[in-house]
Amino acid sequence: MIASLWASIPSPSSAAIHIGPLQLRAYGFMIALGVIAGSWLVGRRLEQRGLGTKDDAGAILVWAVVAGVIGARLYHVITDWSRFSDDLGAIPKIWEGGLGIPGGLMAGIPVGIWRAKKRGIPAREIATVAAPAIPLGQAIARWGNWWNQELFGGPTTLPWALEIDDKHLPAGYASGTTFHPTFLYESLGNFALCGILLLIDRSGRRPKPGRLMAMYLMGYALLRFAVESLRIDPAREIAGLRVNTWLSMIVFFSAALWLWWDARQPDPDPEPAPEPESEPESEPESEPEPEPEPEPEPELEDAGVDDAVAPEDATSTPE
């Protein structure tokens, strides 16, 4: 029973999720779930670092996601122009699939950094905060390819092989052929990448701000390089390699070179701690002026009687 259960991974019968009379495009729904998960992680990390709030994360990601979707669609259209050259009306139909993640990263990351700086968050800090959130969102959104039965790998009989119905079966393959579920490989790889980045960031030797984003780019480029080697969907090639394969190599080595360069930059001098404010010195209390000594009373002359004073003659006048 277990063997039959794991004989292959079935594909969904529909690319939509039906909830009563409501119909949701599964591809867009999975992207939305990925955005929500990424936004949650960015907001949490912003608050943990004292850089912002969940509201800041939402405001930043609204711009970053819109830019990312536009960039991803344009990248797909440019690299697969033959599909759209005779049908320009298909360009905005993103619910049918066709978002190039490299284009989404090239547009979404700079716009996100720009919006973060507008809210007072330094560029390197927001890059570090967002680094593990991006692969988390990608890991969830990749399941949209499963719903659309697209972007799978070559034929295989492995227990986790993917079933594809005849409507989506590539030309030249017999009905019932199973394929590498590259969406699953990339999803699991992105979950692992998210976890690794979080562990690195929480380690005793936390990397300098900005470096975690470079590590993400290196990790994703390596993952994408491996996945591209399995995919069989039509793609533009240069010198026998798919464009995405070349781009993965460029991103990997560029990020590694940046890390090497940044490691050789002197650490910025820490800002001197502000000196504690000294209390205003109180004026010394003035010593009280000494009271004048009483003048001594004049001594009286003896009047010939011990301890007796002669009474003054009332009729006498002073000489």
Backbone angles phi, psi at 52, to 5 degrees: 180, -165
Tokens linked to 182: 């590259």
Note the pLDDT of residue 293. Answer: 63
Please state the rounded mean pLDDT for residues 252-268. Answer: 90
Q: Which helix (H) or strand (E) holds 179?
A: strand 178-179
Tokens linked to 222: 């390596």
Q: Which residues, 6+ apart, have CB-to-CB distance to 122 below 8 Å? A: 116, 209
By the 8 A CB rule, do 212 and 200 touch?
yes
> CA–CA separation, 278 vs 280, rounded Å?
6
pTM assigned to the model: 0.78
Tokens linked to 74: 């344009």
Band of pLDDT at residue 291, cut at 50, 70 and 90: low
pLDDT digits (tens, 9 = 90+) for 98-133: 788 889 999 999 999 999 999 999 999 999 999 999
> CA–CA separation, 125 vs 245, rounded Å?
30
- 101: amino acid identity, one letter: I
Nearest to 213 by CA among 108, 102, 127, 117: 127
Please state the rounded mean pLDDT for residues 52-79. Answer: 91
Note the pLDDT of residue 310. Answer: 45
Between 75-89, 117-131, 177-191, 267-281, the lowest mean confidence (pLDDT) is in 267-281
Chain position carrying tokens 């697969």: 80
Note the pLDDT of residue 303. Answer: 46
* CA-angle at 226, arms to 225 and 227, nearest 5°: 95
Please count the other Cβ atoms lying within 10 Å of the Cβ belonging to residue 215. 21
For residue 215, what is the DSSP state? H
Please count the other Cβ atoms lying within 10 Å of the Cβ belonging to residue 92. 9
By the 8 A CB rule, do 87 and 18 touch?
no
> CA–CA separation, 163 vs 170, rounded Å?
12
Tokens linked to 105: 């990263």
> CA–CA separation, 52 vs 47, rounded Å?
6
Tokens linked to 144: 């949209």
Please count the other Cβ atoms lying within 10 Å of the Cβ belonging to residue 173. 15
Please state the rounded mean pLDDT for residues 49-77. Answer: 92
> CA–CA separation, 281 vs 165, rounded Å?
87
* CA-angle at 222, arms to 216 and 228, nearest 5°: 125
SS3 at position 290: coil
SS3 at position 218: helix
Band of pLDDT at residue 183, cut at 50, 70 and 90: very high
